[in-house]
Amino acid sequence: METLSREGFEQQIEKMLGEMRLGKVFVYPTDTIYGIGCDATNPASVGRIRALKEREKRPFSVIAPSLEWIMCNCQVGRREKEWLEKLPGPYTLIVRLANKAAVCPAVNYGLATIGVRMPNGWFTGAVAKAGIPFVTTSVNVTGKPFMTSAANINPGIKEDVDYLIDVGPLKNKPSKVVDLVLGKTVRE
């Protein structure tokens, strides 16, 4: 695993964008907590994250590269548009996936829905430049505490990620999850 600062990542942005497109697995900061992710169209990389998290068939969310990506690949009605106006921000929106080819099946196991995020932070800009949906999930083994600093990354996860972007401790809570299909907040 290579550890980078934000500045280190940005100094070699073209290389990092290439690594993202190749399916490398990153631990990165969001506007809430640290996330772990990869190109959401790459089944081998998504499988690596599933193994690291010991998470079988529960779906992952994605950082959308743009609002246009969400509009083109998801069913967006009036309620969804209202929530999309809050992005970027600390929300995961569960919406119907209209284009099942937009992510590999290992992301959502063929469900009709997907969680979409656009964190309010600089890493979202990197995802936008890469032009790909990027898996976003907390950095932890399922059921264990999530990572808030590089010092508390699970050793097993640390061994098998390609890059860790360390920006110091993050003192937030995970994103608010709003299921727009069922019309309810799943997690505050």
Give 60-95 pLDDT, tens digit per residue. Answer: 999 999 999 999 999 999 999 999 999 999 999 999
Are 116 and 92 contacting, i.e. CB atoms less than 8 angstroms apart? yes
Q: Count of domains in the chain?
A: 1
Domain CATH for 34: 3.90.870.10
pLDDT: which is higher, 171 or 103: 103
Q: Does 165 reside within a domain?
A: yes
Res. 35: pLDDT tops 80: yes
Q: Does 186 have pLDDT greater than 80?
A: no
- The C-alpha atoms of residue 25 and residue 20 are separated, in whole angstroms, by 8
57: confidence class by pLDDT, cuts 50, 70, 90: confident
Q: What is the mean pLDDT of residues 4-15?
A: 97
pTM: 0.93
Tell me: the pLDDT tens digits for 144-160? 989 889 889 998 899 99
Q: What percent of the chain has pLDDT over 90?
A: 83
Is 170 part of a structural domain of the chain? yes
pLDDT at residue 121, rounded to an integer: 94
Question: What's the confidence (pLDDT) of residue 188?
Answer: 62
Question: 126 pLDDT band (50/70/90 cuts)?
Answer: very high
Residue 176 lies in a domain: yes
Is 188 contained in some domain? no
d(CA 74, CA 2): 34
Residue 14 to residue 103: CA distance in whole angstroms: 23
Higher pLDDT, 55 or 15: 15
Per the structure, the complete domain to which residue 156 belongs is given by: 2-183
102 DSSP 8-state letter: G
List C-alpha distances in Å: 115 to 60, 151, 164: 7, 28, 23
